[in-house]
Amino acid sequence: MSPSAKDALRRPITDPITGTSFVTDELDVIKEDLDVDEFILQLARFKKSKVDVRPAVTAADCELALDGAHQLSITVHDKDRALYTSGILDYAIDMEVRGWSWRLAGRRKSGRDITLVFEPRPVAWLRAERGRKKARRGKTTRAEFIRALVMAIKRGRIRFISPELGTTQPREKLDLPKRSNERDRRSNRQPGLDKGFRPSDGSSGKLSETAARNAERVLIVGEKKGARRKVQVAAMMTVYQESRFSTAATNGVHVGLFQQDPRYWPASRDPERDAAPFYDKLIAADRQNPNARLTSLIESVQGSGQPEAYAQWRTEAEQIVDHFYGASTGGSESISVTVVKPYEFRVKRGENWYRTATRLAEEVNWRLWTVRDDFHYQSETSLFDSKSLMTIKEGEGGIDIIDFDDDDRKPVTELTVTCRMRMWLAPVGTVVTVEDGGSADGRYLVSNISRSYFSQSGQVTLRKPTKPKLEPANETNQLTFGGGGAGLGSSSFSRGERIRGSRPGFPTTATTSVLPIHDTAGLTGYPAHDYMAPAGSPCVSPVDGKVCKISGSDPSNGPPQGPHGPFGLSVYISGGGSTYYLTHMGSRVVHVGQLVRQGEIIGTVGDYAKWGGANHIHMGVCVGGSCFGSCLSG
């Protein structure tokens, strides 16, 4: 060994990349011989034991590992069973060996031999804790959660060292679902009305099955002509107002479902024949003015002089069209959403804190190990960026043998070095360079050091670093609504869950249609849209913000003022300079003051259809703070 290498034995070494300080005399616990007399003296002092096992120590081994707890093992030949029957092995015995603190963690008995297994005392302290703890990812990093466990131990002077403590690590990506649109839904299902479906008559009753078949025949004509949803809704509103779906309807001049004048229209009383020219003109009008109100669109074709008369049938028309395309709770098509659960770091039931810390490290392929009373947490690739502490060659500087597998099909990734321990300089977690080893030349990470105290030699395992894994993706749960899927009461959500693929500004993800803008009754300054969605499906926050108010009534009691009036639970959310008012909810999982993210589940869509309405979320938006009830006012 060169003089400079000998001097380095006692010199602190600071890693230039990570700033981590390694002191080479920390290896004294494994480099220097075990003082058996001192060990026995400490054992004898415990509980004032009079057991003398000095001449009976038959083995003493130490192992320092990068990917597990260090271990000190002492084997005693207990010929007369004096040690076994003394009772002292029932206690947590602490030992000091070369500046390291150890605690008795296990005992192995084989005949008259007893092996005492010690682990670093900080590990034992952490292993003794079992209290439940958790933290949500996004608010804390994995390293910060492990540090919180370690620093909660109030005994000794434990430090936690991690160069990337507050760094957010990259995550596995979730496959975002393809957003379905009307064309997708049409291609995945043959449109139609289920047998037995009967449209609402506008009050508490239902129209006949014949009326339902006539509605279906009209909608099929529109479907074949490529009519979009808005046009289909307009057609249904027209037939509702003109004939209530009766082909026999007439006022003496106008005839059939659309009350057509025979001078200008077929007026044949045949649904398909009468619907075809109606759709031709309606589609042309829609293309000419795609943003026209529904009533204006209908009036451009019908010329009734009373366009607002059609408006009263909007909700019923929406129900029929929703059912036709299988997108409502009564339809035959099911709608699926993916619920993304919040990812939490937690102590599992029955798990001690040390097992939790090592499990969390293993999940991302990082390493958690101790140096004296310090815990280190770092990835192997980060450690590998460090400066090499020593260069070794077989047959030189105390290096006796370097063993490895040389295979042309793969590079050398692990070496086993047999060396004289007094001359070894590199602790676990540091880098060593191998020279004159042929295909094994290169830099390696020290992952394990072991020796018997009855020998001057020991073994060191060197290996190439393993790459860290990405942070696991959040768990997901696929739920189905409508078409016999989950309904109100059969789906429950927890705080912090969100919907994958949700769109900013939308309160639902299973939206089947969005009705035109209209006022919010009783709440001036909240122009709103209705977002049609199945009962029980998730209602989500349309924006990052804060829940500032909740209101509403018990949805199980129905709408207090009858169909089309106020119904269900309501939530006000402030965010992005606006206040969002969401109502017609069947359940609510948020509270006032709670911060929510866009797409986070705040409740479920209420079962308004049970009471004669349409299942939807009504969302009004007050821009700024001037509106009544705005969370931003004042």
The per-residue pLDDT for 180 is 47
* R_g of the chain computed on alpha carbons: 38
Q: At 564, which CATH number?
A: 2.70.70.10
Question: How many structural domains is the chain composed of?
Answer: 2
Listed residue (204, 254, 26, 167) closest to 468, CA to CA: 167
- Report if residue 157 sits inside a domain: no
Residues in the chain: 634
CB atoms under 10 Å from CB of 99, counted, come to 12
Domain with 221, as residue range(s), is 190-324
Q: What is the end-to-end Cα distance of the chain in Å, rounded? A: 78
**Residue 344 in tokens:** 């939490």
The span from the CA of 412 to the CA of 439, in Å, is 7
User: In the chain, what percentage of residues exceed pLDDT 70?
Assistant: 83
C-alpha distances in angstroms, 208 versus 201, 203, 212, 323, 357?
A: 9, 14, 7, 16, 66
**Span 142-161, mean pLDDT?**
92
Q: Which ranges in 128-265 belong to alpha helices (H)?
A: 142-151, 182-188, 209-224, 229-243
> pLDDT class for 36, splitting at 50, 70, 90?
low
The tokens for 108 are: 């192995």
Domain-located, residue 590: yes
Identify whether 182 is part of a domain: no
Nearest 5°: the CA angle 372, 375, 377 is 140
Q: Is residue 395 part of a domain?
A: no
Final residue of a structural domain among 324, 344, 368: 324
Of all helices (H) and strands (E), which one includes residue 189?
A: none
d(CA 491, CA 507): 17
42 compared with 98, residue with greater pLDDT:
98
What is the maximum alpha-carbon separation in the chain? 122
Q: d(Cα 60, Cα 232) in Å, to the nearest integer?
A: 86
Q: How confident is the model at residue 534 (pLDDT cuts 50, 70, 90)?
A: confident
pLDDT tens-digit profile of 116-129?
999 999 999 999 99
- 356 vs 532 pLDDT, higher one: 356
Residue 317 domain flag: yes
Q: Please choose, from the candidates 334, 219, 210, 336, the residue with its C-alpha nearest in 3D space to the C-alpha of residue 272.
A: 219
In this predicted model, which residue has the larger pLDDT, 574 or 194? Answer: 574
- For the chain, helix (H) and strand (E) counts, in that order, are 14, 30
Indicate whether 520 pLDDT > 80.
Answer: yes
Q: How many CB atoms sit inside 10 A of residue 591's CB? A: 10
107, two tokens: 């005992």
Rounded CA-CA distance 488/555 in Å is 10
Q: Report whether 449 contacts 64 (CB < 8 A).
A: yes
From the list 224, 325, 319, the residue with the least C-alpha distance to 279 is 224
Q: Of residues 460 and 321, which shows the higher confidence score?
A: 460
Of 298, 324, 350, the one marking the end of a domain is 324
Concatenate the DSSP letters of all residues of 490-520 into one string.
Answer: T----TT-EETTPPTT-SBSS--EEPPPB--
Nearest-angstrom CA–CA distance, 608 and 618: 12
- Give a yes or no: residue 276 inside a domain: yes
The per-residue pLDDT of the chain, averaged, comes to: 83
pTM of the model: 0.66
Average pLDDT rounded to a whole number, residues 441-464: 95
Task: Say if residue 1's pLDDT is above 70.
Answer: no
What secondary structure letter does DSSP report for 90? G
The domain boundary residue, chosen from 274, 297, 324: 324
Q: Tell me whether residue 531 is in a domain.
A: yes
Kindly provide the residue ranges of all beta strands, DSSP E only, lying in 372-441, ordered along the sequence. Answer: 374-379, 388-392, 399-403, 414-420, 431-434
Residue 401: φ, ψ to 5°: -140, 140
Give residue 487's pLDDT: 40
Residue 571 lies in a domain: yes
For 291-340, what is each residue's pLDDT tens digit? Answer: 788 999 999 999 999 999 999 998 888 888 877 876 443 333 456 778 88
CA distance 249 to 210: 13
Asked if 207 and 201 touch (Cβ cutoff 8 Å), the reply is: yes
